[in-house]
Amino acid sequence: MKKLIKWLIWGVGSLLVLAVVVLVLVYLSLGRIVEKAIETAGPMVTQCPVTVDSVSLSPLRGRLRIVNFAIGNPEGFGTPNAFRVDEIRVAMRPGSVFSDLIQVQEVYINGPQVTYEVGLGKTNIGTIQGNVDAFLKRVSGTPGAKGPEEPSGSTRKVVIDQVKVENGEIQFSGTLLKGAALPVPLPTIAMTDIGKGQPMSGPKAAAEILNRILGGVLDTVKQSGKAILDAAGDLGNSVKGAGEGLRKGVGGALEGVKGIFRK
């Protein structure tokens, strides 16, 4: 009898240890799961490559940290990324990540770097915003809307109390400038009550946030048109002594920029 009790105790203890090990492994893998979800859903929303270096998630503390988030450029643009930020911090109600409704208290995006690139009659930011808008119309059920399908999978929804984007900078670049860029400050962008009253899927909420940021970039560029052209003129003067090809490249890019601001 004592031997049986001993074996039972040993068996139960082993099961508890195994359960703890499994829970630890699942906990440690949560960040990688979120990272994979971002890199899968992101391109469906933007029609561009989306990458992150790492994701750390602490559901019991209600903290999510995304490191080196980047959105690449549409085909035909030459700069490496359209949008890049070193860190995105998300504060959630502890434990809500395990429920059907994830309650996000704040999304904080500090110091994003946006590259606004002028191509042949179009811009990278305008193109990406068009892709995001098409996604939102499609998942919102707009009649006749064409765009990518919403990623299938979890049916969990999200509500976001507030989003803050600050200390951002727009690098204005022409395709023919071969990477040369002109900086313009991006004003602080604040959003509240995303999904309030009608909780959204994660991809749709992310698309709403990105659409607002891209709209802010486009508004800033339009409002800063004269300053950008003045800076572009300075850049053109600085390459007067350069080769003929570079001078033509700068001149062509500046004419393209002027065309955009005349519209």
Pairing of strands 113-118, 168-174: parallel
Element (H, E) at 149: none
Predicted pLDDT at 99: 85
**pLDDT tens per residue across all 263 residues of the chain:** 555 455 445 444 445 444 443 334 344 445 566 777 788 888 999 999 999 998 888 878 889 999 999 999 999 888 889 999 999 999 999 888 788 899 999 999 999 999 988 877 788 999 999 999 999 988 877 665 555 555 555 578 999 999 999 999 998 776 545 555 567 899 999 999 999 999 999 899 999 999 999 999 988 888 776 655 555 555 444 434 444 443 443 344 444 454 444 44
Give the contacts of 25 (CB within 8 A, at least 6 positions apart): none
Q: Are 150 and 138 in contact (CB under 8 A)?
A: yes
Q: What is the pLDDT of residues 16-42, one digit of tens each?
A: 444 443 334 344 445 566 777 788 888
Transcribe 182-250 into DSSP letters: EEEEEPPEEEEEETTTS-B-HHHHHHHHHHHHHHHHHHHHHHTHHHHHHHHHHHHHHTTTS-HHHHHHH
Mean pLDDT, all residues of the chain: 75
Pairing of strands 113-118, 182-186: unpaired
Which residues touch 211 (CB under 8 Å, ≥6 apart)? 129, 132, 133, 136
Residues pairing with 108 in the sheet: 89, 164
Give tens-digit pLDDT for 53-85: 988 888 788 899 999 999 999 998 888 899 999
Indicate the SS3 state at residue 54.
strand
Rounded to a whole number of angstroms, the CA Rg of the chain reads 24
Kindly provide the residue ranges of all beta strands, DSSP E only, lying in the chain, ordered along the sequence: 50-51, 54-58, 63-72, 81-92, 101-110, 113-118, 157-166, 168-174, 182-186, 189-194
Give every CB contact of residue 167 below 8 A, 6+ residues apart in sequence: 110, 111
**Tokens 């988030």 — which residue?**
69
pLDDT of the residue at 160: 95
**What ranges do the domains of the chain cover?**
30-224
pLDDT of residue 249: 39
Q: What is the pLDDT of residue 221?
A: 83
Structure tokens at 151: 């990623």
- Residue 157 has what pLDDT? 92
